[in-house]
Amino acid sequence: MGHAKTSYVCLPCRASYKQPYEAYEPHDKDRRRVCPRCAEPLIHVGSAFAAPPRRDIEAWRVLSVLLHAGVRFHKSCCGGPGYRPRTLREVRERMAHARRSGEPFAKALARYEVP
């Protein structure tokens, strides 16, 4: 049986890396994962993550907003991670809704439709 791998992202480099999941590496808990290009810390994004092309700057900005709000791409028992906005317009709509309603940003960003 192979080792489970999950995705890690470097936002400054706009790069994604698949690496073994730390739950399967008990001896390696303190290891800090760093980008091989710039040596910045990698962000754990989850196993259901699909990286946008490096040249798609808007998609990486959207991803940056999602990650800084605490939204990740983990698989659930019923499939993938659920809805995630893909454009800056969708992000702005959900952030405006969160400000108006007082809903946490992470929850508003993962909302399929804005009321």
**What string of pLDDT tens digits covers the 115 residues of the chain?**
456 788 999 999 999 999 887 654 555 555 678 999 999 999 999 888 999 999 999 999 999 999 999 999 887 666 666 788 899 999 999 999 999 999 999 999 988 888 7
Q: What is the pTM of this model?
A: 0.82
Name residue, tokens 């008990």. 26
pLDDT score, position 24: 46
Give me the residues paired with residue 20 across strands. Answer: 5
Residues 6+ apart with CB under 8 A from 85: 62, 66, 91, 94, 109
Nearest-angstrom CA–CA distance, 32 and 47: 18
Name residue, tokens 């994962």. 33
Residues 6+ apart with CB under 8 A from 104: 98
Report whether 48 contacts 77 (CB < 8 A).
Answer: no
pLDDT score, position 1: 45
pLDDT score, position 8: 94
Report whether 7 contacts 18 (CB < 8 A).
Answer: yes
